[in-house]
Amino acid sequence: MLVRLSFIFLGVSGIAAAWGGALALLTVATEQAGLPLGLPWRQVLLHIDPLSGFFLFIVGTITSITACYGPNYIKEHIGGPQPPGTLTFFTGLFVAAMLFVLLATDAFSFMVAWEIMSVSSYFLVVFEHHKAENRSAAFLYLLMAVIGGAIILLAYGVLAAFGGSFSFYAMATAQLSPTWATIAFLLAFVGFGMKAGIVPLHVWLPQAHPVAPSHVSALMSGVMLKVAVYGFIRFVWDLLGGILWQWGVLVLLIGAASAVLGVLYALMQHDLKRLLAYHSVENIGIIYIGLGLSMIFSATGHTGIAAVALIAALYHCLNHALFKSLLFLGAGAVLQQSHHHDMENMGGLVRRMPVTAICFLIGCISICALPPFNGFVSEWLIFQAALQGTVLKSGILGAMIPVASAMLALTSALAIACFVKVYGVIFLGRPRSRQAAEAQEVSFGMKSAQVILALCCLGFGIFPTWTVIAISTIPEQLLGTGLAKAAGNSWLWLTPIDKQTASYGAPSVLLGLLVSWLIVFFFLHPLKRDNRIRIAPAWDCGFGPLTPRMQYTAASFSMPIRRIFSFVWCIFEKTEPAQPGRGPRYFIKISDWSWLVFYIPIGKLLLQIAQRTSRIQGGNLRVYLAYSFFTLLFLLWVIV
Amino acid sequence: MNGWLFAIVQTLCVVFFAPFMAGLVKWMKCKLQNRQGPPPWQPYRNLLKLSRKQVVLADTASFVFRIAPYVVFSVTIVAVSVVPVISVQLPTAALADVIVLVGFLSLARFFLSLAGMDVGTSFGGMGSSREVTISSLAEPALLMAFFTLAMNASSTNVSTVIAHLSQGSLILYPSLIFSSLGLILVAIAETGRIPIDNPATHLELTMIHEAMILEYSGRHLALMEWAAMLKLTLYSLLIVNLIVPLGVALTLRPGDLLLGAVSVSCKLLLLALFLAVVETAQAKMRLFRAPQYLGLAFILSLLGMMSHIILEVR
Q: What is the pLDDT of residues B265-295, one digit of tens each?
A: 999 999 999 999 998 998 888 888 889 999 9
- B257 and B7 Cβ atoms separated by less than 8 Å: no
- The predicted-structure confidence for A98-127, as pLDDT tens digits, reads as follows 999 999 888 888 999 999 999 999 999 988
- The predicted-structure confidence for A555-612, as pLDDT tens digits, reads as follows 899 999 998 888 888 888 888 888 888 888 888 888 888 888 888 888 899 999 999 9
Candidates B62, B104, B136; nearest CB to A351? B62
Residues of chain A found within 8 Å of residue B230, distances taken between Cβ atoms: none
Window 47-66 of B, Cβ < 8 Å to A: 51-52, 54-64
B191-219 b/e (C-beta count within 10 Å ≥ 16 → b): bbbbbbbbbeeeeeebbbbbbbbbbbbbb
B285 touches chain A (CB under 8 A): no
Average pLDDT over residues A369-387: 92
- The phi, psi pair for B200, rounded to 5°, reads -95, 0
CB pairs under 8 A between A and B: 251
- A326 and A358 Cβ atoms separated by less than 8 Å: no
Q: Is the dihedral of CA A272, A274, A275, A280 positive or negative?
A: positive
Q: How far is CA A233 from the centre of its chain?
A: 15
- B129 and B229 Cβ atoms separated by less than 8 Å: no
pLDDT at A55 > cutoff 80: yes
Cα separation, A449 vs A469, in Å, equals 27
Average pLDDT over residues B127-144: 92
Cα separation, A572 vs A580, in Å, equals 25
CB contact under 8 A, B147 and A387: yes
Percent of chain B with pLDDT over 90: 53
Residues of chain B found within 8 Å of residue A393, distances taken between Cβ atoms: 314
Closest-approach residue (CA) in chain A for B107? A370
Residues of chain A found within 8 Å of residue B128, distances taken between Cβ atoms: 420, 424, 552, 557
How many Å lie between the alpha carbon of B312 and the closest alpha carbon of chain A? Answer: 10
- The phi, psi pair for B205, rounded to 5°, reads -75, -20
Average pLDDT over residues A257-276: 92
Cα separation, A454 vs B311, in Å, equals 46
Q: For residue A572, what is the DSSP state?
A: E
- The predicted-structure confidence for A483-538, as pLDDT tens digits, reads as follows 766 555 667 778 777 777 788 888 888 999 999 999 998 888 877 777 788 888 88
Mean of the per-residue pLDDT values of chain A: 88
- A326 and A215 Cβ atoms separated by less than 8 Å: no
Candidates A416, A429, A533; nearest CB to B118? A429
Q: Other C-beta atoms within 10 Å of B61: how many?
A: 23
Return the bridge partners of A590, or none: A571
**Per-domain boundaries in chain A:** 1-163+228-238, 243-516, 558-591, 593-639
Residues of chain B found within 8 Å of residue A405, distances taken between Cβ atoms: 143, 147
Predicted confidence at residue B192, as pLDDT, reads 84
pLDDT at A240 > cutoff 80: yes
Predicted confidence at residue A285, as pLDDT, reads 95
Average pLDDT over residues A72-96: 84
Residues of chain A found within 8 Å of residue B77, distances taken between Cβ atoms: 516, 520
Predicted confidence at residue B314, as pLDDT, reads 56
Q: Please report which helix (H) or strand (E) contains residue A44, including its range.
A: strand A44-48
Return the bridge partners of A44, or none: A35
B124 touches chain A (CB under 8 A): yes
Predicted confidence at residue A485, as pLDDT, reads 60
The residue that leads in pLDDT, A41 or B100, is: B100
Predicted confidence at residue B231, as pLDDT, reads 94
CB contact under 8 A, B215 and A513: no
Question: Which amino acid belongs to residue B181?
Answer: L
pLDDT at B238 > cutoff 90: yes
Q: Residue A213's closest CA among A279, A283, A131?
A: A131
B299 touches chain A (CB under 8 A): no
Q: Please report which helix (H) or strand (E) contains residue B296, including its range.
A: helix B290-307
First to last CA, chain A: 63
Predicted confidence at residue A476, as pLDDT, reads 86
Predicted confidence at residue B170, as pLDDT, reads 59
CB contact under 8 A, A551 and B125: yes
Residue A426: helix, strand or coil by DSSP? helix
Predicted confidence at residue A38, as pLDDT, reads 65
Split at pLDDT 50, 70, 90, the class of A40 is: low
Closest-approach residue (CA) in chain A for B119? A429
Q: Can you state the angle between helices B2-32 and B254-281, rounded to 10 degrees? A: 30
Percent of chain A with pLDDT over 70: 98
Residues of chain B found within 8 Å of residue A308, distances taken between Cβ atoms: none
Residue A384: helix, strand or coil by DSSP? helix
Candidates B59, B74, B103; nearest CB to A376? B103
Residue A202: helix, strand or coil by DSSP? coil
Closest-approach residue (CA) in chain A for B120? A429
How many Å lie between the alpha carbon of A203 and the closest alpha carbon of chain B? Answer: 25
Candidates B55, B71, B215; nearest CB to A539? B215
Q: Which of B53, B62, B132, B310 to mutate to test the interface with A (most CBs of A within 10 A)?
A: B132
- A120 and A220 Cβ atoms separated by less than 8 Å: no
Average pLDDT over residues A252-269: 93
- The predicted-structure confidence for B22-55, as pLDDT tens digits, reads as follows 999 999 999 999 999 899 999 999 999 999 888 9
Residues of chain B found within 8 Å of residue A529, distances taken between Cβ atoms: 52
pLDDT at A78 > cutoff 80: no
Candidates A371, A520, A535; nearest CB to B74? A520
B80-106 b/e (C-beta count within 10 Å ≥ 16 → b): bbbbbbbbbbbebbbbbbbbbbbbbbb
Q: How far is CA A214 from CA A125, A145, A332, A526, in A?
A: 10, 20, 5, 47
CB contact under 8 A, B302 and A348: no
Split at pLDDT 50, 70, 90, the class of A303 is: confident
Predicted confidence at residue B115, as pLDDT, reads 94
- A193 and A292 Cβ atoms separated by less than 8 Å: no
CB contact under 8 A, A428 and B51: no
Average pLDDT over residues B99-120: 93
Percent of chain A with pLDDT over 90: 45
